[in-house]
Structure 1
Amino acid sequence: MHKLITLFTFILINGNIFAQIVYPDTQLPTNTPRIFAKGLLSDGLSNRDFTISPKGDEIFFTLEQPRIVGSVILHLVKKNNHWSKPEVASFSGRDNDHEAAFSPDGQWIYFSSDRPLQDTGARKDFDIWRVKRTSNGSWGKPENLGPTVNTAKNEFYPSITKSGNLYITVEADYGKGDEDIVLFKATPTGYSKPESLPEDINTKYDEFNAFVDPDEQFILLSSYGRPDDMGRGDMYISRKDKAGNWLPVKRLPVPINTTVLDYCPFVTWDKKYLLFTSKRLNPQMLNRKNNTYEQIKARLNEAGNGNDDIYWVKFNPAW
């Protein structure tokens, strides 16, 4: 019988409990990036950023179309090893929301939103918000992280570690460029003052949309404008040395990076796969010979048409 979903086994480090992750795809990735969950999650619309729960039973991603829907967080749920179709997340759909990220315990979703601070307030710039899982498994009411984290400028792309530390993209004045990655260390009462990550991670160019390893041993980030940038923005990686210092970044290789924008990295909890967003065009889209109207329309409405798509590839520890 044809398998509609792909299974693989991994070990949960705490307790050595075996569990099975079921991805909504028919084939695990190789060293060459391929579109993730084509037809379900990648469907020809502009779909970007990605997170999956530590238990592997929920996925969030963003549908973005600025002129019509803005940006809305979509949600898939796995039941009995089968994934639901995407639906608007219970805490999204009214304002511009995007870039959901799970906390390592799976009990919180952090995200970026321009929603007002009060139900009747004016729309704000983008802030970091979070929403907690309730006792029945649903998601509660979002809360703003407050003025220690959020400023009068935009904050984007939260990444939360096992220590409770929070990394985000900021446009605030304490960075080194127009956009930078900053760290808020967890404290008993909230967060410390922001710490801009060191030179070479943050530069005079734009650094944004960073995924930080839950163990804080590596960081994947997007950057635009560096001398080795291949196009509209590439992804880079930095690791820590034995003393805990961030090492100089390395640009991820071709064909992960291309001449178009490649961004929004996410590494699965077992550190086997990298998922990311790309505007790359499927070369088959350029076939203009003997096309009927129906064939043209079908190509324009499928993944790989140059809108944002989510790709996945094996995560290489040697990068």
Structure 2
Amino acid sequence: MNIKIGLILLWVCCWLSVKGQTYEASPSDFFFSTSAEDRAFMMAPSLISTGMDEVYATLSPSGDEFYYCIKSGPRQSVIVGIRFEDGFWTFPEVAPFSGKYTDLSPFVSPDNRYLYFVSDRPVNDSDELPDFNIWRCPRNPDGRWGNPELIAFSSNTGNEVSVSVDMAGNIFFSADYEKQSLTFDPSALDIYWVEKETDGSWSEIRKLGPSVNTDAIERTPAISPDGKTLVFSSSREEENSSADLYVSLLQNGEWRPAQKLSEQINSSAYEWCPAFSGNGQWLFFVSNLKREMPAVRDYSSLKKWLLGEGNGSFDIYYVKASAIPLQVNYNVSLD
């Protein structure tokens, strides 16, 4: 009798597992809550958000690839990814082009043709003092990513440490170009952009104005696919141990003064690494918000609290991108 019950339960679990992953039309729906219209949710606890430091996040416009970084300390970071294949999401694996150097900020372009990222890998064999540069992998005909190629405008006089791209191919990034030292200086980070010209070349590097950049740290910009909404992280109103997300909207060709997003997204913790999904429907970001200690403090619950997601390490969160204009005073929408 017990064997029969066990077999029935096993069949039910298998059926629910298969049933729960029938998302061929929109694979990424597997991860998202329908309640994320105006407040943030943690991304895939135990699968993507774990007790490790997960930072940055990017979802392909087709919704069948998700990449992020697992980070340890200031100079250890690898890009990992999961793919929707044969009706199922794979387990996370290190990207084939990552794992040897410090790789950060993966971003699948809205046209699905490139995976951009930043890395301290040497530019050439004589590069004795590598800095962070912007790279990208082209998508091969088989759908896999090709070998990394250095972006032409990427400077060897400073560090570009995050990257975001709109549908027109314009690139927004943070860099320490105004640093006073030879090594990477996070305190000197500001937000810059480069326009994609009609002939495929890049314009000169331009620093965004005072509506976005201040004397404080501005970092990890996220540009919406339509190029009209810029979300970024800044510690302008916080102590150095904390940061919040801000948004600036493009109106009449000018970036409006940045406004801080509400407490439905920001918290007392450190929020950074925003990124729009490839289709523009979702905003991802990272926070080290810590869960409360469990009321029942047995060994099992303590272990899960200390080693699992929400333990004070960085986790990935998401919210509907349509919620952003509702949190600021600008009379515009993302449509």
Q: For 1:194 and 1:6, how far apart are their aligned partners in 2? A: 45
2:192 equivalent in structure 1: 182
Cα deviation for residue 25 of structure 1 reads: 2.4
Cα deviation for residue 22 of structure 1 reads: 2.8
Find the residue that maps to 2:188 and give its secondary structure. Answer: coil
% same residue = 30
1:293 aligns with 2:299: yes
- Which protein is bigger by CA-based radius of gyration? 2
Show the 5 A alignment for 1:1-319. Answer: 2=16, 3-5=19-21, 19-25=25-31, 27-30=33-36, 31-66=38-73, 70-118=76-124, 121-122=127-128, 124-146=130-152, 148-173=153-178, 178-187=188-197, 188=199, 190-224=201-235, 226-227=236-237, 232-241=242-251, 243-283=252-292, 286-287=293-294, 291-315=297-321, 316=323, 317-319=325-327
The one-letter amino acid paired with 1:4 is G
More helix by share: 2
The one-letter amino acid paired with 2:48 is L
Q: How many residues align?
A: 301
Normalising by structure 2, what TM-score? 0.82
Q: CA 1:273 to 1:229, structure 2 compared with 1: closer, same or farther past 3 Å?
A: farther
Q: CA 1:228 to 1:261, structure 2 compared with 1: closer, same or farther past 3 Å?
A: closer
The one-letter amino acid paired with 1:83 is W
Cα deviation for residue 193 of structure 1 reads: 1.0
Cα deviation for residue 189 of structure 1 reads: 5.1
Cα deviation for residue 204 of structure 1 reads: 0.9
- 8 A Cα contact 1:60 1:73, kept in partner: yes
Q: For 1:98 and 1:123, how far apart are their aligned partners in 2? A: 18
Q: CA RMSD in A?
A: 2.5
Q: For 1:230 and 1:256, how far apart are their aligned partners in 2? A: 19
Cα deviation for residue 290 of structure 1 reads: 5.3
The one-letter amino acid paired with 1:304 is G
Q: For 1:189 and 1:39, how far apart are their aligned partners in 2? A: 42
Residue range with higher mean Cα deviation, 265-274 or 203-212? 265-274
Find the residue that maps to 2:319 and give its secondary structure. Answer: strand
Q: For 2:30 and 2:101, how far apart are their aligned partners in 1? A: 28
More strand by share: 1
The one-letter amino acid paired with 2:208 is L
Q: For 2:68 and 2:206, how far apart are their aligned partners in 1? A: 28
The one-letter amino acid paired with 2:326 is A
Find the residue that maps to 1:299 and give its secondary structure. Answer: helix
Q: For 1:275 and 1:281, how far apart are their aligned partners in 2? A: 18
Q: CA 1:6 to 1:26, structure 2 compared with 1: closer, same or farther past 3 Å?
A: farther
Q: For 1:90 and 1:123, how far apart are their aligned partners in 2? A: 24
The one-letter amino acid paired with 2:94 is V
Gaps of 5+ in 2: 1-14, 180-186, 328-335
